[in-house]
């Protein structure tokens, strides 16, 4: 009888601890997530500038991701701005050599936390072009620009 009572107390304690762990993992739907910036750039929106150039903004933070990690443009002129919202990490941006239908020259070199830079290029060949932070590519900081036919 004592053994049964001890087992019941132990099981009750374990169930209570498990419930506490699970409730700590939950989230309030009203709280905003820190997974992605609240900026509209995170959704991959491409706008057209008055000069006809397609414009896209890509954000980087301290989590080895690009926001957005994928976006689509049409063949033609593209202006890409990289904005660092990082507090500690430096990043860069380049199209991965040999990982697209054609090479895209140019890159955004070292970008310190809180800084931004812009690059312009022309893409003529439709397809997927991989981009990366060459410092953090081994940690998965890659993305894809899809070029749709113009």
Domains of the chain in start order, with CATH, are 40-148 (2.60.40.420)
pTM: predicted TM-score of the whole model, two decimal places: 0.72
Q: Which two tokens stand for residue 122?
A: 């022309």
Cα four-point dihedral sign 26, 32, 36, 40: positive
Q: What is the pLDDT of residues 41-89, one digit of tens each?
A: 556 799 999 999 999 999 999 999 999 999 999 999 999 999 999 999 9
């Amino acid at each position: 009888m004592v053994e049964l009572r001890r087992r019941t107390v132990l099981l009750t304690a374990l169930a209570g601890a498990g419930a506490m762990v699970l409730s700590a993992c939950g989230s309030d739907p009203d709280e905003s997530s820190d997974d992605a910036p609240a900026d509209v750039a995170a959704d991959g929106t491409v706008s057209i500038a008055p000069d006809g150039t397609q414009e896209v903004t890509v954000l980087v933070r301290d989590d080895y991701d690009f926001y957005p990690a994928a976006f689509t443009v049409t063949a033609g002129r593209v202006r890409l701005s990289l904005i660092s919202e990082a507090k500690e990490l430096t990043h860069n941006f380049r199209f991965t050599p040999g990982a697209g239908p054609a090479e895209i020259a140019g890159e955004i070199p070292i970008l310190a936390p809180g800084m931004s830079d812009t690059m312009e290029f022309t893409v003529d060949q439709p397809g997927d072009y991989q981009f990366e932070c060459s410092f953090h590519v081994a940690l998965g900081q890659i993305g894809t620009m899809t070029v749709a036919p113009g």
